[in-house]
Amino acid sequence: MLIFFFINDGVFNDLCISWYDSLITKLLGKSIGFFQMRSKLRGVWKQSGDFELMDINNGFFMVKFDIKDQITKVINRGSWMLFYHYLAMCNWSSDFNLVTTKKNQTMVWKRIPSLKLVFYDESFLLVMAIIVSTPVKVDLNTLNMERGKSARVCLEIDLEQPIMGKIDKR
């Protein structure tokens, strides 16, 4: 028997507040248990604060950080691998559905080597990144022009699509 109920938007939004600063993660191509995942994440993330981990079904985990800035640090530090498998991450959304969600997207950092410094502009880099995939943000070192070997842009890529290997900078 199915039961439907109505929930006021305001009440629903209040229920969501505590989850906005959370990440949904999944280790792609490998099943991993709760304690092993928690231990591995603590080892690779080396956070100044701690985090709570919740196994939520179908290989997904919810990560809620004690310190708000930690989520940004985890995302900014690049693509993570555990046991030679990518850790897919996305910000929590009220639209996330454990039953129907297939994790076929992840965030990766795309390096653009030997780019002229005149192009180290956030809006330009985000527009250029659209050629490859959906841009999320530009690396802070790139924005501050602190590193000149390559610009970095965080992209959300669809793992079911072929990956574009090169952008011609002519």
What is the predicted pLDDT for the residue at 122?
92
What is the predicted pLDDT for the residue at 40?
92
* Residue ranges covered by each domain of the chain: 9-96, 106-158
Pick the CATH number of 9-96 from 3.40.50.300, 1.10.3720.10, 1.10.10.410, 3.30.70.330: 3.30.70.330
Residues 104 and 47: their CA atoms lie apart, in Å, by: 27
CA angle 71, 75, 77 (to 5 degrees): 115
Cβ density class 82-104: b for 16+ within 10 Å, e for less: beeebbbbbebeeebeeeeeebe
Does residue 138 have a pLDDT over 70?
yes
pLDDT band at 34 (very low <50, low <70, confident <90, very high): very high
What is the predicted pLDDT for the residue at 121?
92
Taking residues 18-31, report their average pLDDT: 84
